[in-house]
Copies of this chain bind each other. A is one copy, B any other.
Amino acid sequence: MSKPMKLAVAVAFGAGLAAAIPAHAQFAKPEDAIKYRKSVMFIQGQTLPRLGAMAQGKAPYDQAQAVANAETLAFTSRLFPAAFGAGTDKGDTRALPAIWSDPAKFKKYQDDLQAATAKLVAAAKAGGGADALKGPFGEVAQVCKGCHDDFRKE
């Protein structure tokens, strides 16, 4: 696909999303959206290491906890997209302008995060123990890191 074509697709898809979830109806003020996405990321930042500790044998494996924490990551990942609307690039945020100048790349990370966290939930539910968590955990951590490297100020 050519670059302009990719952009057209991304814009069309973005417009579809916007129709389904009108950003203006979600947040009264841009700073609410910023605080909302930071709240989501704080919860995720507290949750991911719990799974990492289990995957790496630093904490005892507990399937119910693994499932609950994986589900928290999966659910909260779906709360992200609406919180990066127009006007939320300024203020108390480390979000880089590239989020809005390269929306297709940013959206890819969001899709990847949803896919990776879904795999983590499946792995936890399947009951393969700590070893089965390792791969999916690594994949989720990699998506987090990639997105932060590309789209978050140091």
- The answer to whether A65 touches B21 (Cβ under 8 A) is yes
Interface-side segment among A34-42, A113-121, A136-144 = A34-42
Q: How many copies does the complex hold?
A: 2
Interface flag for A18 (CB, 8 Å) = no
User: Interface size bucket, A side?
Assistant: 20 to 34
Within the complex, what minimum Cβ distance (angstroms) separates A41 from chain B?
A: 9
The residue on B at minimum CB distance from A32 is B46
Which of A35, A36, A42, A46 has most B Cβ within 10 Å?
Answer: A46
Q: Which residues does A use to contact B, with CB under 8 Å? A: 20-21, 25-27, 32, 35-36, 38-40, 42-43, 46, 50, 59, 64-65, 72, 75, 79
